[in-house]
Structure formats: structure tokens, C-alpha cells
Structure 1
Amino acid sequence: MRIRHFAAIVGFLTTALIYGQDKQISLEDIWSGEFRTEGMQALHSMKNGKQYSVLNFDRNTRTSTIDIYDYKTLEKVKTLVSSEEISEIQGFFDYSFSDDETKVILTTNEVPVFRRSRLGEYYVYDLKTKVLTKVSDDLVQEPTLSPDGSKIAYGFENNLYVKYLESGKVKQLTDDGEKNRIINGITDWVYEEEFSFVRAFDWNADSNLIAYIRFDESEVPEFSMDVYGSGLYQTQQVFKYPKAGEANSKVSLHLYDLDTNKTQTLEVDKAYTDYYIPRIKWTKDPKILSAQYMNRHQNELDLWMIDTYAMSYDLVLEEKDKAYVDVTFDLTFLRDNSFIWTSEKDGYNHIYHYSKDGKLLNQVTKGNWEVTNYYGFNEKENTIYFQSTENGSINRDVYSIKLNAKDKERLTKTDGTNSASFSADFTYFINTHSSATIPPEYTLHNSKSGKLVKGIKDNDKLAQKVGDYVTSKKEFSTINVNGNDLNMWMIKPADFDESREYPLFMYQYSGPGSQQVANRWNGANDYWYQMLAQQGYIVVCVDGRGTGFKGANFKKVTQNELGKYEVEDQIAAAKKLGALPYIDEGRIGIWGWSYGGFMSSNALFKGNDVFKMAIAVAPVTSWRFYDTIYTERYMTTPQENPSGYDENSPINHVDKLEGDFLLIHGSGDDNVHLQNTMRMVEALVQADKQFEWMIYPDKNHGIYGGNTRLHLYKKMTNFINRTLGDKLKKEDKKEQETSKIKG
């Protein structure tokens, strides 16, 4: 396959900009999937280190296959599983192997619960016997094969079960599960959302013990949402949701022994009573379980090693921070049970190597840059592989380094966003690369040198298609405001004329540790910004203080004051941009979604001398309405920090509204509740402020489904054109001229 180079693709797109573009991007193009990228779905490296598998789907035959490819040749070796050969199922859309790769779980149907959780219909396919076993006739959660492949554990109706695959026998491990009261082995709403995991149980290496977290939600307040549906009467969804300062689930750690059929409670000597257990993970030793405990303020994270045979425990690592400690998935145990850990304790996120008893053996990486992903440890070569921002905070590259912190090497050579999937023996890695000018491409590389071996898949057709449209370059730079150089991108109209004045439309998210200014390929919003640019707008995004990948101090400066420094930076950036000769300072708008909606509301209210309009989608309007884990991580509780909660929440600044304001929310948003918008609306009404708003019935935080996204973006586009567009400017000018004549 032809290998493309950075200069070549840039040259192609530059030429297209000058000569080939004539089509205008439409909202219908964006939301019909016209610019969808192709990828490698469900990529998995086989244990032999020589092959990898991917999920393929033939749209003509409606057949799903798991296909095996050779790393060295990239040729297809065989089809491991084909739905066409399994009469019991019509197809599958995901898969996962047992540790020994003798069995595979096939996902045939799933129903979303919340953001990450699913109820599904699953099957286990034995690759040797070709026998297909249905996990359960019920829709279950998080089916997980034991390491030896003989059993599968899953959650159903808040209890844990194990199915023995040979006999078909099902064992119920817990019996006290009850909706909105007790959950075993599956996380509650707030853990799922804020600690980013659903499966709260784990098999040990010998496949005879299951550790799990139990959630007692009894004292957590309930939240309810009307579901309007299509019936004569609405129904109601009621679930436990702990808002800031309210009671959390009481969590406890338990162990089920499948040999004795007994359950034991695992306890450690914690120094705090109100705590979280955000991670559990078995070590290489089948009797030693690791568990991370965190205090409610989240500024102390303790790593415990629990001997489940002796029922003893040791505190091996304590992480403390004046603000908060991030919970990650980076804990990795080596063969000798020493472990890899990442930490911001020197001011940047870096890799550390500890002995099994918690003694620091080495800080592996160091520098004024961030480790953004840990890929693995090649024991044979004594080498760690990771991703970082060393080549600039808006870029990502793949690196290798010896465990002793020597011989660091950049393995990816092209600027942009690079991420790696390594072969099991670390001989090769498949690199996924994209940038603002290059759509995703998949290439095979040698893991020692990073040398390109062969191209696998690209999106040349998409690049050519985009080249047919009128688009503009996304210009990356920094803007100095409030004493900081903030990352920024800008999109100008393709026919930009610096002698003209253009309206400015700003986008941001701004949440702690986030990043929107990144050198990667377009998302759907990027095509929308291109469309707006061709309608005569300059579109800008600025990552202010509090965002990520520029060190802990930059990120954590917003502690206890969410919405203060971030808003100051957006206002200051807008003022500085408004002073440019080609930007009309009287026509500056801003928008955002979720945290970004919180920000755009605040920017319009507090920066009423700068911003003419704002759009807020699914915004937090008061941090008192949001959940415990996220909010208290950055703000402590409202009882401890009432001024931090109230002084920076837009609901308390509605009296300052002078510009045009569009407020949008989904009524089925289980994350940022519609309550936020309803309370904002009431505050605006009582302040006698005019505004526009839109509620999308039964839509969740993502506001999608059917025609919804297209309708949403048409509404926002129309609002932008009405409040910032050239037509308005011409009408204002005509009115001013008429007034002068009359005068």
C-alpha cells in the first residue's frame, strides 16, 4: 500500500484550497455522515505476538467476522469467527477474548443504561469446539471470562453471577441486590460517570476468587426525570444521584471464593471514614489484591495490597496533593509484582517504578511535559512504551525508554496526534496518526526504532472529498492573556480579506484537565466551524487556565474557584482578539456544551461589555446541582466553600445579561439535569431578561437521535446568523444612516 508523507498531503490540501474547492459544507452533509472516517474496529493483538485481529462487517451480506492478520505481511491469515457460520445469531458488533484466547465473547445486542453502562445479550464462542453458549436469557452487564476460560461472571439486577461454561450451571454470588438500594459488582451512577468504570469486580489469576465492590445507596437522595415518550401518560425514571455535599453510597470491598462458596469482607485501616474505592486490581500473585482508597476531598489516594489468604493488608503508597489527586488506569504490575505508577507529584504527569512493597525504585520519565498514556513494559528489552506531549502540548507522540530512565527515543516522526497498539511481544506497533491536515491513517512500525514497515489503512478518499469543499486552514498559535501563553486555533474565511471586519465566534469547553486545542483531524464540530467561516465568521478556540497538559499548576489554579479564572481568560482573549483590525469588536459571540455551556453563560453575563451573544447547551448553571465526585474534587463541599459555589455560578449573575442568549437542554439528561436550565430560566424571568431557549424531549446529555442533531445545529446556526451576521450589521448601519438623515 502506498505510504503518504506529511508534506505530500499538506501539498494536496493546499492545492485544493487554491484551485479545487467549490462545494459549500452544509449541515446535512455533516450530520448525514458524509465526512465519516474509516478505522480498525476492535483491534486486538494476539498472544503469539505475530498476529492481530479486527472486527469487519460486510454491509452487503450483513455478516460480522473476526479476522486475523499477520503483522509482518499485513495479509489476512484467516477468519477466526464468522456470524454466517453460526446459525444461532444473526451477527455481532463487538468481541473480547479470554486470556488464553480459546474463547471469545460476542456482543449481539446492547441497550444503553447511562453513559458507559449497557445491558446486553452476549454469547461465548469456543474456538476449538465451535460451541456457542448464551451467557443468559436476560440482558446482563459486564460479562467477563475467567483467566482460564472455564467460567464467565456478570451482573444482573444488582447481583453477581458466575456461569460454568462446560456444565451450564449458574451460581448466584450475591442475593441482596436491590434497585436504588444495593449494587454488587457494578458501579453506581456517580462512580460510572466520574471514575470512568462500570465493572466493579475482578477475577484473580487462578480463576477461583472474585473481588468486588458493594454499593449501599440507601442514604443517597433520589433524582427523578419525566420520560414523555409517545404514550398518553409520561413515565418516570428514578435513580440515585448524590449532588455536591449530599450523601454518597457507602462502599465496601468483598471477596467471593468459588471453591468454598463463601464471601468475606476485606477491610483496611483507613484514616478516614467517608471514602471512595475508585480502583481494584489483582496483582500477578493470585492471592494479592490491590485496592485504591481515596478520601472524600480526593486529595489523598492510598494504594493497599491485601493478602486474601492471610487476610492482612499493607499500605504501600500514599499520594497527597493540596488540590486533588487524579485517578488513572495506569497501575501495571510486572512479573515480580513491582509496579508502574503515574503521578503529578513533580508538577507534571510522569512514570514511576515502585517495588511491590511501595519503595520508589526510579522515576522513569522527567521533564516539563506530560505522559498521556502508558502502553506497556517489554520485559525482554527492559523497555517501557508511552505517549507524551514532549513535542508540544497540542501534539502526541509515542516513545520508548528503559526502565532505568535511559535511552528515551521518539518512535513516531510526524507531528500531530499519534497513538499506538503494540503486538503482544512488542516487536511491532500499529500507529494511528492524524493532524489538522491529515485524516486518520494506520501504519505498522518497528518497536525498537519506530521505523515505518508498511501502511495499513488510510482515509485518502475522505481527504480528497474534503478537498472538494470550501475549507480553511486551522491556524495554531498562542495568545498571551493574564500573564499566560494560552493555546489557540483560528479558522478564517477562505476568501479572508484583512481589510474587512469579521464577526468573531468563540468555542471552548474549559473543564479541568481538558483540551480542545489539539493537532488532530476534524470532528463534526470542525466541519460546522468551516461552514460558519465560509458564511463570513472567524472562529476561534482558546484553552485557558485550568485546562490540561501544561503541568499541574496550570491545571489546578482553578481549585475552589471553578468558573473564575477560566471566564477571565475567555473575556480577556475576546478583548485582545477584538482589537485586531480584521475583527469587529461589536460582534463577538461564544458557545459551549456542558462545562462549556456553564462557561459561555458566565462569559456573556460577566463579560457583557465584550460578548454580544452566547449559546449554552446542557450547561451547569450552579455547581450545587452537580454530582459529588466531580464537583467536590475541584470545589470541596458547598458547606465548606459556599462562596466558591455561588460567586462563579451563572445562575447568580443573570441580572448582568445584556446580549442575546440561547439556552438548550435535553429533558432526559441524567448527567447535567434539566433542573439546571429550569432554574436558570426562572432566574432570568424574575430578572426581567429576554432570552431564547429550546428543550429536546427525552434527549440525554448528548442530545442526539433521529433528526435531533441536525435540528439542534440548524437552530444554533440561525441564532448566530441573526445575532452576529453581516445582515444584522447592514441593518444596523442602515438604521444609523437613517437616524443621521432624520437628525
Structure 2
Amino acid sequence: MTTNETAADTFPRQYARTLRYTVGMPRSFAVAPDGSRVVFLRSRGGGDRANLLWTLDPADGSEKVAADPVALLGGGEEDLSPAERARRERSREGAAGIVGYALDQAGELAAFPLSGRLFAADLVAGGVRELPAAGPVLDPRPSPDGRWVAYPTTAGVLRLTAADGSGDRSLVEPEQPGITWGQAEFIAQEEMHRDRGYWWSPAGDRLLVTRVDEAPVRRWWIADPANPGSVPTEVAYPAAGTPNADVTLWLVDLDGTRTEVVWDRTAYPYLARVHWSAGGPPLLLVQARSQREQLVLTVDPATGATETLAVERDEAWLELFHGVPAWTADGRLLRISDAPGHRALLAGDTVLTDDTLHLRTVLSVGATEVLVQASEGESAETVPGLTGVYAVPLGEGKPRLLREGGAVDAVRGGAVTVLSWSSLERAGRRTEVLVDGAPAGHIVTSYAERPVLTARPELRWAGERRIPAAVLLPTGYDRERDGLLPVLMDPYGGPHGQMVVQSHERFLSSQWFADQGFAVVVADGRGTPGRSPAWEKSVAGDLAKPPVEDQVAALHALAEEFPLDLDRVAIRGWSFGGYLAGMAVLHRPDVFHAAVAGAPVTDVALYDTHYQERYLGLPQEHPERYREHSLIEYAAKLERPLMLVHGLADDNVVVAHTLRLSSALLAAGRPHTVLPLSGVTHMTPQEQVAENLLLLQVAFLKDALGMPA
């Protein structure tokens, strides 16, 4: 029992304190190219959110602290800049201490920011030194040869210092306020999952650097109503149909000389991916604003001119993937492309995988094979939510399964592979070290707390569409004694949010709701990932009706097997799940008798460009879609209990969404409940808030369905 645990620990309290059981879990793995060391982050315990930097010796499994934030800060508290807080919000980072690091090519030098200061750790000889820096510092990265460390600052400057701390200087500076060098813009971080804005050349003598001008972006102001004396925060937010930031890319020499990288930015304004390795010239992936067309470009490092290497088009949209485009060791372009019923891995013109695998992510590119994360193809008859890490040969041979389960991940360096996975049978995430493809007998230690309850999901393919679903019943439930149960639908139900996976932790909150007297149903309908391109893209132009229909279909199909009381059905969700809950209770009150909508997008025209336009197009071209997808348009239809929950400091789904819906409901004379969360963003990392939020939802739902308190 840790110092933060008590004998009376409850699930809501533990769940909130441990950030959903992620605190104390090893994460952010990297392996030196020669396999000599594994690098990772982990806190000291399941109740301590401050991560340390660690190394592991693959030869004997010994673990050492490489950098301790408590020691480096002299025991003082972290002081995060607003820019760093925003970066963490974009990545949904709730931990503290060292939350990210970057290595040189040899994996010998690690650079990281801490409390806005710049630190470098020698992973071979040991020791950490603070480098003089004109901070606050964001996202420092060593050059491949380890001689230099580049770092952006909150002032928008990209600076350079020698790894020994000498010669700190400005490399490129903003010409005026609102311009930043070397940082990813909001839309790249939030939607493209590109969280960086500069890339070193393989030789370490130049960099590719983004220049972001936010002047075209409309401004919003996020206030703190609970503290009227505080000044509202200005946010450059590109809502659907409005201008994005102007993003350009530059080759920057170490003396500050700049050469612009040129492509048709009018036709392809989104810079989605950048790759620069020894395998070939720099690669760019640029997208049209519609996201239905994109180019893979090569860059001439001498002139900045680009040449088109591949053109991709799709009538719905083109998905972005981690790890590609990239070069193979023999100079072929590696990419993921949609095919009937699955996504395939391609090296040049060679298709490396068939319809038995649905590619998700490229994890590592080696000399002879590529590590990927993949689901089985759509025709697979295995249980839902199963994913695996596969080694795909670049030459002859078939993909080789290394590990399957839920939330699988892997990194590789030389002969050493680090595999992480979860399962339904065991709490926690397990991380194993392989050497030459065989287990080395080393399991990376996890300090994550053991949950105070056990999840018991029963996974099914529900209905004719074979909707991935899970059902959780109260612990100790007896059908003859307890009869039919009120139902709580507990989905996310939208793009990029797969809930039905082989992970015990994923179902813990659902099990807790079940133990309050519900039969909980989790269903991944059309639009969710992991199934097939057609499944995901069936929501193109209609992001509301198919997800609601599939929740209804899963409910009715599962009621044929499980004790579901269809006269008492509620639905809850957060973010897209909150939007789905609102749509369900407004459009299908015959099925859903109560809803909790957390941080819902109620007016889709207020959400960002890259996300909303991907599914609905431009509002100027499809105004009817935006009206039909607005919860506000249907406020007068509400006839069931509805609780709206929203963080007042949310800069992703701003609180205006809930306030506008509440105003429309009031104008229509429709009673409802609003729960404002002061100081809370789109995440809810505050322990007391997260704990009490679960308790208040249960109380509301029980009352709405006529259940005993």
C-alpha cells in the first residue's frame, strides 16, 4: 500500500488519483541503435505523478535513474509556462516531472525541459547538467551527432546551444508578434498528431523548421468566471470554415541562413508529416484542406525545391498515420494505404501485407523488417478489440506476430525490442525486453497501483453489422434474484476512439458504474477505428446518424442475451461521447431515457477546421450538414433528463458549446442540469473533481431512471 492509499480507498478516488492507473507505469520507451540501453519514463510510485528518466541494461535487466526532477529542482515545485501547459493539454498529458525527452542518434545524450529550464543527461557516463538557456524552454532536441541541442522558446525563437552548455544563441527569431519558429501549431498538435516543429538533418548540420504565423486565425478568449479579477486568455482558434495559421517550412543552417521549402501551399496548406533520415532526402506529406488529396514530396536540401513522389486521393478523406511516410534502408518509400477491407503497408510499389492485417501504425523501420501495430482484417472471426505487433519483412516472407493483446506497442534498437501490451485477464500494462527476437527474461518494473475492483467485460460482435461491444454486469449479479437491469450505454463512439479493446483498465470505470446497479454496454459503432477503412469512413458527411443507430442496434442485439431492461436506458459520454449522448437523447427518446453529456460539441461550427471539415466539409459549402449536426437546432425536442458537464477552462471544446445549448433549452422551456467545472480543461486531472464527477453522474442517472439512491 503506497503512502497515498488508505484502507478506505474507493474506486473513484483511486481512479482519479492515479490518472486512470497510468501513474507509476513505465512509458515513452526508446532503445539505443546498438541495443546497449533502453530509455524510459516512470514515476516512483502509483500515487506520484512526477516522472523520472530511467535506463535499463538489456544484458541483465538492471534499472537506473538517469534524471530525477526532484533533485534537479532542489525539491521545489514545477513552474510551467502557459505554452507548456497548452502543449500538455494537446497531448492529454496529466503527469508531472519529466514528461518527454529526445535522444541523439547514438542514444547517449538525452535532452529534456523541466520547469522551463533545459537539461541534458549523459546516459553512458551518468550525470545531468543544466544548460544555460533563454527560456522558458519547449521541446529541446539534440543533434544526431550529440554536439548541439536546439530548443524553441515561449517567445517563438528557435535557439541553439552546444551540448557542453557553451555558445547559446538565437538561430531564428520571429519578425513580429504572433509568429513562432520550431513549434507545431494548434491544429497540428490537436488533430494531426504532429507535436513538433523542427527536424535535424542526419548530419546534424542543418534543420527543417516550421514558421507559424497565427495572424490569420480568429481570436477567442477563455475566461475564468470563478475568478472575475483574472484576465481572459487569448486563444488563436481556427473554427470550421475560418482561416488556419499560415505554416511554412524552412531549411536553416547553423549560422542562421534560411532557405524556404517551396510547394503549392494554396492547394495543400496542411503540413502533416516531415521525415528526414539517412535513407534519402527529406520527405513531406502535405494535405489539401478537404483532406481528400495529399502529396508525398521530396525536398532538395540545396534549393528547397520539392518534387512529387506520390499522389493519394480518397472520396471520403485520407487518414494520417504515425511513422510514415519514411524511407526504408534500401531507399524505398514506406507508407500505409487503404485497400478493400483493410489497410496495407507498401514499400515503393511492393505491397508487404495482405487483407489478413489492418495496419494501424508503423513503430520502427529496420534494415530488413518493419515493426507495425495492426488489427486483424475485417473478416477475422476472433474476439473484438485484439491488436498485435508484427514484424513485416522488407523482402520475402510473411508478417510475424510478436505479441497480441490490447494497446500493444513496441520500439526497437539493434537486436533489442521492447514490447508493451495489456490484456483483459490481468490489471496493468506489461513491458518485456526481447533480444534477438527472444524474451531476455526482463520485465520492466511497473509501480502502477492495483485497482480496487476487477472488470469483467463480456465481449461480443453485436447484431448484423457485427458491432464490437462489451457488456459489464454488477459484481455478484444473479439473474434469478436480481432480474433485468437498467442499462447505461458508455461509448465514445467516434473517430480515433476505440473503446472495446483487450485491456482490463479500459473497462474499470464501466465496471464501477455496473457495480452501482447498471448493466453497462460499451459499443464501437461505425466511425470508430480498428475495423476497416469502410467502417471508419461510413460517417463521411454524416457524423451523427450512423453512430446513434449503432448504439441502438448494439443495445437491442445484446438484449437478446443479457438482462437489459429496455425501458430504463441511459447514455453517458465525454467529448465525442458527450456529443453522441446528446444526439441520442434528443433524436431517440424512445430508446434513451436519460443522458450525461460531458464536454460535448453542441455547435459543430465552433469546432476546429482539420477535424470538423474532414467529416462534414466546409460550412460554406455544406451549411445544411452543420445545421443537422448541431444539438442546438433540436433543443426543443428534449423530453428526457439531460445533464451537461463542462470545464470552464476548456480551450479545445470551449464552454460556449454547453452554454449555447443550455440557453436554447431554456428558451424552449426544457428543464436540464448544467454542471460547470471551474478551472478544468478538456481533461479532468484534478483528483477531487474527477472523483466527485463520477459520483454526481451516478446520482443523476439513478434519479433519472427511478433507481434507489
Query: So what's the TM-score if we normalise by structure 1?
Result: 0.83
1:245 to 226, 241, 246: 241
1:693 to 642, 651, 674: 674
Q: Which residue of the partner structure matches residue 484 of structure 2? A: 501
| Alpha-carbon distance, 1:27 to partner | 2.5
**Does residue 188 of the first structure (1) align with residue 185 of the second (2)?**
yes
Aligned pairs for 1:501-580 within 5 A: 501-523=484-506, 526-577=507-558
Alpha-carbon distance in 2 for matches of 1:641, 1:226? 31
Structure 1's 725 and 406: CA in aligned 2 closer, same or farther, altered over 3 A? farther
Structure 1's 497 and 460: CA in aligned 2 closer, same or farther, altered over 3 A? farther
Q: Which residue of the partner structure matches residue 641 of structure 2? A: 660
Q: Which residue of the partner structure matches residue 235 of structure 1? A: 231
| Alpha-carbon distance, 1:375 to partner | 2.6
| Alpha-carbon distance, 1:447 to partner | 6.3
Alpha-carbon distance in 1 for matches of 2:542, 2:20? 39
Aligned pairs for 1:48-197 within 5 A: 48-55=34-41, 66-76=53-63, 93=98, 95-109=101-115, 120-126=116-122, 132-156=129-153, 157-166=155-164, 168-179=166-177, 181-197=178-194
Alpha-carbon distance in 1 for matches of 2:429, 2:344? 28
**Does residue 225 of the first structure (1) align with residue 216 of the second (2)?**
no
| Alpha-carbon distance, 1:252 to partner | 1.7
**Does residue 353 of the first structure (1) align with residue 363 of the second (2)?**
no
Q: Which residue of the partner structure matches residue 211 of structure 2? A: 214
The farther-off stretch of 632-641 and 432-441 is 432-441
Structure 1's 147 and 598: CA in aligned 2 closer, same or farther, altered over 3 A? same
Alpha-carbon distance in 1 for matches of 2:510, 2:42? 32
Structure 1's 644 and 101: CA in aligned 2 closer, same or farther, altered over 3 A? same
Counterpart amino acid of residue 120 in structure 2:
V
State which structure, 1 or 2, has the greater radius of gyration over its C-alpha atoms.
1
Map Cα deviations across residues 509-542 of structure 1 (whole Å, 9 max, x no partner).
111243111111214xx33332332232100111
Map Cα deviations across residues 465-511 of structure 1 (whole Å, 9 max, x no partner).
64xx5x5521000111xx41101100012232334121000011111
Q: Which residue of the partner structure matches residue 87 of structure 2? A: none
Q: Is the 8 A contact 2:53 2:98 kept in 1?
A: no
Q: Secondary structure at the match of 1:173?
A: strand
Map Cα deviations across residues 71-107 of structure 1 (whole Å, 9 max, x no partner).
243235x665667997989796354332234432244
Alpha-carbon distance in 2 for matches of 1:560, 1:405? 41
Q: Which residue of the partner structure matches residue 85 of structure 2? A: none
**Does residue 637 of the first structure (1) align with residue 631 of the second (2)?**
no
Q: Is the 8 A contact 2:188 2:194 kept in 1?
A: yes
Alpha-carbon distance in 2 for matches of 1:168, 1:664? 51
The farther-off stretch of 569-578 and 291-300 is 569-578
Structure 1's 702 and 244: CA in aligned 2 closer, same or farther, altered over 3 A? same
Counterpart amino acid of residue 687 in structure 1:
A
| Alpha-carbon distance, 1:206 to partner | 1.9
Q: Which residue of the partner structure matches residue 297 of structure 1? A: 290
Q: Secondary structure at the match of 1:292?
A: strand
Structure 1's 613 and 63: CA in aligned 2 closer, same or farther, altered over 3 A? closer
Counterpart amino acid of residue 716 in structure 1:
Q
Map Cα deviations across residues 650-686 of structure 1 (whole Å, 9 max, x no partner).
2111222111100011111100011111110111011
What stretches of structure 2 of length at least 5 have no aligned partner? 1-6, 79-96, 377-381
The farther-off stretch of 401-410 and 588-597 is 401-410
Map Cα deviations across residues 627-646 of structure 1 (whole Å, 9 max, x no partner).
10100111111111112211
| Alpha-carbon distance, 1:688 to partner | 0.8
Query: So what's the TM-score if we normalise by structure 2?
Result: 0.87
Q: Is the 8 A contact 1:218 1:249 kept in 2?
A: yes
Alpha-carbon distance in 2 for matches of 1:61, 1:574? 39
Alpha-carbon distance in 1 for matches of 2:110, 2:231? 38
**Does residue 384 of the first structure (1) align with residue 375 of the second (2)?**
no
1:338 to 332, 340, 355: 332
Q: Which residue of the partner structure matches residue 4 of structure 2? A: none
Q: Is the 8 A contact 1:503 1:725 kept in 2?
A: no
**Does residue 282 of the first structure (1) align with residue 276 of the second (2)?**
yes
Q: Secondary structure at the match of 1:394?
A: coil
Structure 1's 176 and 405: CA in aligned 2 closer, same or farther, altered over 3 A? same
Alpha-carbon distance in 1 for matches of 2:434, 2:51? 30
Aligned pairs for 1:247-266 within 5 A: 247-259=243-255, 261-266=256-261
| Alpha-carbon distance, 1:172 to partner | 2.1
| Alpha-carbon distance, 1:564 to partner | 1.5
| Alpha-carbon distance, 1:228 to partner | 4.2
Aligned-CA RMSD value: 3.1
Q: Secondary structure at the match of 1:726?
A: coil
Q: Which residue of the partner structure matches residue 16 of structure 2? A: 31
| Alpha-carbon distance, 1:268 to partner | 2.3
Q: Is the 8 A contact 2:417 2:435 kept in 1?
A: yes
| Alpha-carbon distance, 1:175 to partner | 2.9
Alpha-carbon distance in 1 for matches of 2:690, 2:303? 56
Alpha-carbon distance in 1 for matches of 2:496, 2:114? 36
| Alpha-carbon distance, 1:178 to partner | 4.3
Alpha-carbon distance in 2 for matches of 1:221, 1:702? 24
| Alpha-carbon distance, 1:595 to partner | 0.6
Q: Secondary structure at the match of 1:570?
A: helix
Alpha-carbon distance in 1 for matches of 2:438, 2:351? 27
| Alpha-carbon distance, 1:61 to partner | 13
Q: Which residue of the partner structure matches residue 621 of structure 1? A: 602
Q: Which residue of the partner structure matches residue 379 of structure 2? A: none
Q: Is the 8 A contact 1:177 1:183 kept in 2?
A: no
Q: Is the 8 A contact 1:378 1:384 kept in 2?
A: yes
What stretches of structure 1 of length at least 5 have no aligned partner? 1-21, 110-119, 355-359, 729-743
**Does residue 456 of the first structure (1) align with residue 443 of the second (2)?**
yes
| Alpha-carbon distance, 1:580 to partner | 6.3
Alpha-carbon distance in 2 for matches of 1:305, 1:62? 42
Q: Is the 8 A contact 1:368 1:551 kept in 2?
A: no
Counterpart amino acid of residue 181 in structure 2:
N
Q: Is the 8 A contact 1:432 1:440 kept in 2?
A: no
**Does residue 40 of the first structure (1) align with residue 36 of the second (2)?**
no
Structure 1's 666 and 610: CA in aligned 2 closer, same or farther, altered over 3 A? same
Q: Is the 8 A contact 2:644 2:658 kept in 1?
A: yes
Counterpart amino acid of residue 663 in structure 1:
L
Q: Secondary structure at the match of 1:727?
A: coil
Alpha-carbon distance in 2 for matches of 1:635, 1:35? 33
Map Cα deviations across residues 399-435 of structure 1 (whole Å, 9 max, x no partner).
22321352332222x654433232x11x342322321
Q: Is the 8 A contact 1:153 1:160 kept in 2?
A: yes
| Alpha-carbon distance, 1:63 to partner | 11
Q: Which residue of the partner structure matches residue 740 of structure 1? A: none
Percentage identity across paired residues of the two chains: 23
Q: Secondary structure at the match of 2:172?
A: coil
Alpha-carbon distance in 1 for matches of 2:118, 2:165? 18
Counterpart amino acid of residue 263 in structure 1:
R
Alpha-carbon distance in 2 for matches of 1:581, 1:74? 46
Structure 1's 408 and 26: CA in aligned 2 closer, same or farther, altered over 3 A? closer
| Alpha-carbon distance, 1:612 to partner | 0.8
Number of residue-to-residue matches in the alignment? 671
Q: Is the 8 A contact 2:220 2:234 kept in 1?
A: yes
Alpha-carbon distance in 2 for matches of 1:87, 1:614? 46
Q: Which residue of the partner structure matches residue 683 of structure 1? A: 664
Q: Is the 8 A contact 1:440 1:458 kept in 2?
A: no
Structure 1's 81 and 530: CA in aligned 2 closer, same or farther, altered over 3 A? closer
Map Cα deviations across residues 106-150 of structure 1 (whole Å, 9 max, x no partner).
4432xxxxxxxxxx2221245669672424152121111111222
Q: Is the 8 A contact 2:469 2:554 kept in 1?
A: no
Q: Secondary structure at the match of 1:242?
A: coil
Counterpart amino acid of residue 212 in structure 2:
F
Map Cα deviations across residues 550-574 of structure 1 (whole Å, 9 max, x no partner).
1111110110111111112223333
